[in-house]
Amino acid sequence: MPDLSGITKIDEARAYELDKTKTYMLYCNGVVCWRSPAAALTLKHLGFDLL
């Protein structure tokens, strides 16, 4: 699984650098973090199916 640990935000420009055929794990460092759900929604909107 590709390492995305250094990425703190996924926007459209960053998403186009990712391979849609690979599986990515999105996670935050706490229960009140909003970044991973926001990234998942962005990727889903851009056509990523493997979330």
HSE-CB of 27 using CA atoms within 13 angstroms = 7
Residues of the domain holding 41: 1-51
What amino acid occupies position 9?
K
Supply the pLDDT for residue 4. Answer: 64
Return the SS3 of 20. Answer: coil
Supply the pLDDT for residue 35. Answer: 83
CB atoms within 10 A of CB 24: 19
Segment-wise mean pLDDT, segments of 10 residues, the chain, 51 residues: 66 85 82 84 86 53
**If residue 40 lies in a helix (H) or strand (E), which one and from where to where?**
helix 35-45
Supply the pLDDT for residue 18. Answer: 87
What gap in Å lies between CA 49 and CA 8, rounded to an integer?
Answer: 21
What gap in Å lies between CA 26 and CA 35, rounded to an integer?
Answer: 9
